[in-house]
Amino acid sequence: MEIYTEIGPCRDAAVRARSSGRKVALVPTMGALHEGHLALLRAARQMADYVAVSIFVNPKQFAPGEDFNAYPRTLDDDLAKCRAAGVDVVFAPGVEAMYGQGPLTTVHVGRISEGLCGRFRPGHFDGVATVVAKLFNILAADVAIFGEKDYQQLVVIRWMVRDLNIPIEIVAHATVREPDGLAISSRNRYLSPSERRQAASLSAALFAAVDGVRGGQKDAHVLTDKIREELTVAGPVQIEYVEVVDLETLAPVAIVDRPARICLAVRIGACRLIDNVAVDAPDFRG
C-alpha cells in the first residue's frame, strides 16, 4: 500500500494506475475509520481494481465553534485498516499541502446546500464541495463512493459533478447501522452511555415513519410531528430539523406520493447526529 502526503506524487500514482488500464475507485474520508467506512472500501474493491482512500480532516467544512480541533484523528489505526482492506493508495495530506496559503476559489452548489444542515452549518457544504472537487482532480478516479448517511452531502456532490462535467461516477452506499439501528458515525464516540442508548430513538422514529407511509399515511407534517414526538419522549434532545424532501432537489415534500427521503438532525448532549431513510411505499406510481 502506497501512502502519500503531497499532491504531486499521489496524482502520479493515480495516473499510472489509469494508464495501465486499471479502474480507480476513490473513497474520501476524514479518517477515524469505522465499519461504515470499511463497507465503502469493500464496495470499492468489488467495483474497481485500484482503490484510493483520502484521509483529511477538512477545516473548510467546520463552522466556527464546531469540533474541528476535537475531531478524532487516528491515522495509524486508519492506515492499518486500509492495509487490511486491500487499499492500494492512501492520500493523507496536511492542511498546508491541500490549501497552501489559503485558496481564493471556493465551490458553491446553490440551493441544494442551503436547506437541512445548510441552515445550521453555514459554509459547511462549500467546504465539502471544494475539498471533494480538489480530491477528484488530484486522484482522477473513475468512481467515487459515498455513504447515504450524509444524504445531503451526497446530493450536493452529485449536482457538483453534473454541473461541472467532472468525469467521475458517484456511487451511493446504504447507511451502515449498529445492531440497535443507530447510524455508525465517528462522532458517536462523543455520546455518554445513556446518550448512546437514547440515540437509538433516531432510527426507530424514522423507520416507524416509513411503516406509517406504507400503511397509508402520506401527510408529511403528520409523519414529521410523530417523529419529533418520539424523539422527545426518548430523552432530552435539541431537534434542528425533521423534514421529508425530494430525492434530487431536497425541496420539502408536503404529500408523500412519490419516493422521497426523511431527514433529521438533532443534538443529544454535546453530540450532533444526523440520519435519514428512504420512503418508497409499494403503491407509488411513476
CA 214 to CA 278: how far, in whole Å?
12
User: Among the options 34, 37, 124, 173, which is catalytic?
Assistant: 37
The neighbour count for residue 239, using CB atoms within 10 Å, is: 14
CA 168 to CA 154: how far, in whole Å?
14
Q: Which three cell numbers stand for residue 285?
A: 406510481
Which residue from 152, 157, 149 is spatially nearest to 175, judged by alpha carbons? 149
What residues contact 132, with CB distance under 8 A and at least 6 apart? 28, 144, 157, 160
CA 11 to CA 36: how far, in whole Å?
26
Could you give the residue ranges of the DSSP H alpha helices within the chain?
7-19, 35-47, 75-84, 95-99, 124-139, 151-164, 193-214, 220-234
151, 277 contact by CB (below 8 A): no
Active site residue 37: yes
Q: Residue 190 in 3-state DSSP?
A: helix
The neighbour count for residue 173, using CB atoms within 10 Å, is: 19
14, 24 contact by CB (below 8 A): yes
What residues contact 19, with CB distance under 8 A and at least 6 apart? none
* Strand-pair partners of 276: 263
**Residues identified as active-site:** 37
